[in-house]
Every structure is written in structure tokens, then in C-alpha cells.
Amino acid sequence: MRLFPLIPILLVTACSDGANHLGNPLLWPFHAGTSAAQNAVYQQRRGAVEVYVKSHHTEMIHDIQAGSGPHLSAAMDIAQVPAEDRPARIVQLQGDVGIYTANVGALVVALMVYGR
């Protein structure tokens, strides 16, 4: 009988208002639905970027080397790369242009990383 008052105290102390990596269990179904929707939107955008890059790869490499161009701009638009970030991102692309010339997938990944 001495343990009876101890049980509620232990239950209350187990609750924490601190953050954890799992979040509130009551919100898990909502987070699962939100995550699925976000993943679907991302996959659709990634697919569009991949199709565009594969269709215009040679032109995009020329645009990267030149520092700008319509095909690179269009791909950045599809990937949703912020306009204010584009000059720095183009410099990064130019630094690794050899990789992107040899590997179309690497260019797709780079554009998606730079996008929102």
C-alpha cells in the first residue's frame, strides 16, 4: 500500500514539457498526412527537374560555363531556387561542372538541394 501514492508521482514526473524527437503522439496521424503530402509535392517537382535536365543537358552545361542562360534559368525556376541565391549557386555549379557534364543525376540533385 505504500507504493500507491508513489505511482501517480512517477507518472507525473515522466511527463516532460521538453522537446523530443518523436513529438506529441496525439499529433502523429496529422504529421504522417502532412509528411506524405510534402513528399508527393517534392517528388513531382524533382521529376519535372529531372525531365528538364535530361532533355536539355548539353545546353545547361553551356549555360553553367557561361554563367547564365535560358536553360539554366528554366531549370532553376522548376527547382524553385530563390532568385537571390542564384549567382552564388551558379558559381558553385561552375566549380563542379566536370561532375555535372559526366553525371546528369548529380546536376538534378544539386538543383534540388539549392531549391526550396
The per-residue pLDDT for range 30-68, each reduced to its tens digit, is: 777 788 888 888 999 999 999 999 999 999 999 999 999
**Quick one: what percent of the chain has pLDDT higher than 90?**
64
pLDDT at 3 over 80: no
Angle between helices 104-114 and 86-95 (to 10 degrees): 150
Cα separation, 8 vs 99, whole angstroms: 61
| pTM of the entire predicted model | 0.72
